Amino acid sequence: MIDDRSASNDGTLHETITRVERTPPAGQAAIELTALVIGLILMGIQLWLLTVALDLYLSGSTTDSWLLAVISGLVFLGGLLMLRVERHHTRRR
Amino acid sequence: MTIRDRMLQASAERAQRRKAITRWQAEFPYRWDADDFVSRRELLRLAVAASGALFAATAAIVGLDYLRPTTTVSRQAIIPVSELPPGGVHYFQYPTAEDQAVLLHLPNGRFAAYSGKCTHLSCAVYYDKSRDKLLCPCHEGVFDPQTGVPVAGPPQRALPKITIRQDGTMLYAVEEAL
């Protein structure tokens, strides 16, 4: 955490960004990085699904295109679930 | 006092109000440079919002796909429904007199029609009722009669599907466009 504070002439306590802890606790960085990478990959998949849906729409084919929206929706629901879990985790701390 | 003086005074008052600090700011005079950073939760929220936007766009495109009307460009009468019992097969020419096609009355009551040319080397495909499969005799290609997808042999692509519509007692092969 912040461990170094200094008072200036006007009495204001300054905290510079170099003294603020910005990294997660030891051992948690790998988990957070993994979650970030998985999240980025899933969003990439969603973007790909969007392009496939657009491609099918422009080609006039409607066969099973609803599956694309379902898969994209599942990824979105997974994100919402993660947000909920994160909130619950923070409240417990 | 001129208008210019009044404007200057109002501007100075506004600046003074901006400088005024609240009580908690006076009691805790911290300058949080770190507030400019995006927290992990904010990043997650942003990512979920982006994910939601991608989902909404995909769903909208898929919805449009199902909503748009289609118009029949051309249609060709094939056979009266009564002449093709469930499990029956009828060979016809579509879209030209040189193009072989096969119409099936599937056991589930649905009609399915495909181009009669094998997608391997264009041999004529026929329906084997005993095996319930579409077969190509040249290189033993086998297709699923429900979908036209190849299930055995050298063909890699599905048989081109022909859209069938029932109008009254007659079955038609139709070509539809947007």
Q: Are A71 and B57 in contact (CB under 8 A)?
A: no
CB contact under 8 A, B40 and A32: yes
Within B20-163, residue ranges assigned H as helices are 23-27, 40-67
- Residues B147-169 pLDDT 10s: 999 999 999 999 999 989 888 88
Shortest distance, CA B117 to any CA of chain A (angstroms): 22
H or E segment at B4? helix B3-19
What residues of chain B lie within 8 A of the CB of A76, using their CB? 48, 51-52, 54-55
In words, the CATH class of domain B71-177 is: mainly beta
d(CA B114, CA B127): 11
End-to-end CA distance of chain B: 72
CB contact under 8 A, A83 and B48: yes
**What per-residue confidence (pLDDT) applies to A12?**
53
CB contact under 8 A, B58 and A49: yes
pLDDT for residue B31 is more than 90: no
- The domain segmentation of chain B, as residue ranges, is 3-67, 71-177
**What per-residue confidence (pLDDT) applies to A6?**
46
- Minimum Cα–Cα distance from B26: chain A residue: A12
- Residues A2-54 pLDDT 10s: 444 444 555 555 555 554 556 677 777 888 889 889 999 999 999 999 999 99
- Residues A64-91 pLDDT 10s: 788 999 999 999 999 999 888 888 877 7
- Minimum Cα–Cα distance from A61: chain B residue: B65
d(CA A35, CA A47): 18
Shortest distance, CA B5 to any CA of chain A (angstroms): 32
**What per-residue confidence (pLDDT) applies to B139?**
93
Beta bridge partners of B150: B143
Q: What is the ipTM of this complex?
A: 0.74
Sorting pLDDT into bands at 50, 70 and 90, what band is B178? low
CB contact under 8 A, A43 and B45: no
